[in-house]
Structure 1
Amino acid sequence: MRPRLFAALGWYLAAGTVVAAGCTREITAPVSVSGASVIVEDGNVHGVYPDLLRALAPRTGCRFAFPVVPRARQVALFESGMADLLMPATRTVSRDMMGTFVPMIRHRAMLISVDRGGAPITSARQLLARRELRVAVVRGFDYGFEYAAMVDELRRQGRLFREVDVVGVARLLHAGSADVTIMGPTLMAAAIRRDARVQGLQDKLKFQPIPELPWQQSGAYISHALKAEDQALLREALEKLGSSNQVLEGYQHYFRADMLSDSVRAR
């Protein structure tokens, strides 16, 4: 995937005639395993977002560091000003106070459950009323106010599991310890591919959109803690990247069109 993605970026990298002087320091972009967005294999970081940033380095003159941390830690580092970039990230009001958001794609979280032939859950109210269903989520995931309200109520009801990553959630579903999760379908599909212990789970899952989890912008946050000139340089580069649809094309190298159509769209 990576050579093809770099080739697809060729026209973008050649489009500008002015090479930036570069960032004033190395840009810290902590990452956590996140479907095809961020892949960590044997200590090597790649995937849609790290590969795109590396491809941008010659044009921007910036160097990027990708420390690997759990998702909740990744978010905490950004909120404390210790991370310069947060990506991938859904746009939220609280994050807008800490950084500048650059949209890359639109995506939608869905209810994902093991199909046992029951009636579909079509709203958050139905999910909260079905108290026999156990729900697993990933710490640090944020799909907006309605999502946060659902998670808070599920926690209050005593039927919420919080895992550090998507693989942990997949294992709970596979073992029958949880019944439902809330996330993008591509995240779950990528986790199942990576972990032999949950092979076969994908074919047992059903995916249900609900009104409380609408289509949202996803992309990158640039920290306000960065120097103004670094913020401006990164914002310009990421805006051009987002408008080129290269992020969506990166996902298309990993997933079939039918998997993407319900959960990932162009910006």
Structure 2
Amino acid sequence: MNGRGSELAAAIALTLAACVLPRAASAGGHHCTREIAVPVSASGASVITDGPQVGGIYPDLLRALSAKNGCSFSFSVVPRARQVAMYKAGQADILVPASRTASRDQYGTFIPMINHRAMLISMAGNRAPITSAQNLLERRELRVAVVRGFDYGEAYSALMAELTRQNRLFVEVDVVAVARLLNAGSADVTIMGPTLMAAAIRRDPRVHGMQEKLRFEAIPELPWSASGAYVSHALKPEDQQTLTEMLEKVGKSNQVMEGYLRYFRADMLSDSVRPRPAN
């Protein structure tokens, strides 16, 4: 992590601690029965990794919560695809950050934190706009790169399957690898949240300066949806309840959105990240 990233992570940790601890202290004295396993992979500002070191919005938030509620969290750094596989195998007690999908609902309880949407991202140029998933499939000259383990719902999965059948899909281990393909002209389009790409560009000197050259396009098959955390059904019921109640309070307070605003300008977020709706 560069110096600026370290400062931002530290600032968020302090702010979240100040905001969260009073709430945690009044949560009724719940305690987790064991250490909570949270495997993570680099994910924009949500999770920042530097070797084995873990920071970012969600890890800092969980650490702030742990100080008063009796739950301790153990972080480990793994590739995104392995992180999701561990969650489905009952080896990850919390999956974060995560879009809500029917597949993941089978293995845990979803707690929404923000609303977000994935967009088509490419290098700016004079090609005609892409207006839909079908339009992208018809543009067979365009090569698409995505991150293994990312999932934005059924329409996204169907699109990935068809792009694979057309032999147009590159699947990479992380966002930086995708950014490098776009920057080199080896891929034409990616699909992900714009903040993920922005954070990867900020972090990797090989693609510095790329942000100003990007084009972002929304398509109807990738609508606004909830993003947040899953609490695994593999946990004891009392731990599931404790963690769900704890994270639900955080979700309603919109502290995650406040964290995004410390990393990104509001105008960058307006097309891809919004506060969780009041309910």
**TM bracket, shorter-chain basis:** over 0.9
Query: Please, which of 1, 16, 21 is the counterpart of residue 13 of structure 1?
Result: 21
CA distance in 2, matches of 1:182, 1:161: 11
SS in 2 for 1:111: strand
* 1:211 matched to 2:220: yes
Residue in 1 that maps onto 2:47: 38
User: Structure 2: which amino acid aligns with 1:52?
Assistant: L
User: Structure 1: which amino acid aligns with 2:166?
Assistant: Q
Query: Please, which of 155, 159, 163 is the counterpart of residue 154 of structure 1?
Result: 163
* 1:248 matched to 2:265: no
User: Structure 2: which amino acid aligns with 1:6?
Assistant: L
User: Structure 2: which amino acid aligns with 1:36?
Assistant: A
The TM-score with structure 2 as length reference comes to 0.93
* 1:3 matched to 2:4: no
SS in 2 for 1:67: strand
* 1:85 matched to 2:94: yes
SS in 2 for 1:30: strand
Residues 168, 60 of structure 1: CA spacing in aligned structure 2 closer, same or farther, 3 A cutoff?
same
Range moving further from structure 2, 115-124 or 180-189: 115-124
Residue in 2 that maps onto 1:96: 105
Cα deviation, residue 245, structure 1: 0.6
User: Structure 2: which amino acid aligns with 1:241?
Assistant: V
CA distance in 1, matches of 2:92, 2:127: 44
> Aligned Cα RMSD in Å?
1.2
Deviations for 1:140-176, whole angstroms, at most 9, x for unmatched residues?
A: 0000000001000000000100000000100100111
Runs of 4+ with >4 A deviation:
none
CA distance in 2, matches of 1:74, 1:119: 37
Identity of aligned residues (%): 66
SS in 2 for 1:56: helix
Cα deviation, residue 41, structure 1: 1.8
* 1:49 matched to 2:66: no
CA distance in 2, matches of 1:11, 1:119: 46
Deviations for 1:71-92, whole angstroms, at most 9, x for unmatched residues?
A: 0000000001111010000001
How many equivalent residue pairs?
267
Query: Please, which of 200, 204, 211 is the counterpart of residue 195 of structure 1?
Result: 204
Residue in 1 that maps onto 2:85: 76
Residues 8, 208 of structure 1: CA spacing in aligned structure 2 closer, same or farther, 3 A cutoff?
same
CA distance in 1, matches of 2:157, 2:64: 35
Residues 115, 46 of structure 1: CA spacing in aligned structure 2 closer, same or farther, 3 A cutoff?
same
Cα deviation, residue 3, structure 1: 3.2
CA distance in 2, matches of 1:162, 1:12: 38
Please list every run of 5 or more consecutive structure 1 residues that lacks an aligned counterpart in the other structure.
none
Residues 58, 142 of structure 1: CA spacing in aligned structure 2 closer, same or farther, 3 A cutoff?
same
